[in-house]
């Protein structure tokens, strides 16, 4: 942190505490060159994740929509809500950790299918049938055959 008095680029933190709202951290610092003290505030930068839909429209990422899709795919299956929430957490972390601020629904769908395949194959096929828009029984069978080949 650059000293506002002498411009030296190194300082030490003397005191650190959250502000009243808990959204910022107040830090008292001391310049290692001139020994003058100054205060800095740190805030978490939260940039929204934008989802690019199939029709090229864009909307903000919604973990609720993703969780609802998982709940529908896992309906009447032995998959706990905790497991589904963990899947959403992992997918959201994967998207947030990428350098891109925009992600396609295709990428999200592939991440969901990878996670569901490991958790419950029936839920995976249900999700894939909606996500990939199976047109007839042949495309459904192709997906099932691919799943069987992987085993």
What b/e sequence results for 67-98 when a residue is b if at least 16 CB atoms lie within 10 Å of its CB, and e otherwise? Answer: bebbeebbeeeebeeeebeebbeebbeebeee
Q: Is the pLDDT of residue 145 over 90?
A: no
pLDDT digits 0-9 by tens, 23-71 = 789 999 999 999 999 999 888 767 788 999 989 999 999 989 999 999 9
- Residue ranges covered by each domain of the chain: 11-43, 50-150
Query: For the whole model, what pTM was predicted?
Result: 0.63
């Amino acid at each position: 942190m650059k000293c506002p008095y002498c411009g030296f680029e190194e300082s030490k933190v003397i005191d650190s505490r959250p502000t009243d709202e808990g959204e910022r951290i107040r830090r008292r610092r001391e310049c290692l060159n001139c020994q003058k003290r100054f205060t800095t505030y740190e805030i978490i930068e939260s940039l929204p994740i934008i989802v690019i839909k199939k029709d090229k429209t864009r909307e903000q990422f919604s973990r609720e929509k993703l969780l609802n899709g998982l709940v529908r795919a896992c309906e009447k299956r032995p998959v706990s809500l905790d497991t589904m929430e963990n899947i959403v957490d992992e997918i959201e972390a994967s998207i947030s950790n990428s350098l891109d601020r925009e992600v396609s629904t295709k990428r999200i769908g592939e991440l969901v299918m990878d996670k569901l395949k490991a958790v419950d194959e029936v839920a995976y096929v249900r999700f894939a049938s909606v996500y990939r828009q199976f047109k007839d029984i042949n495309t459904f069978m192709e997906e099932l055959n691919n799943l069987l080949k992987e085993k």
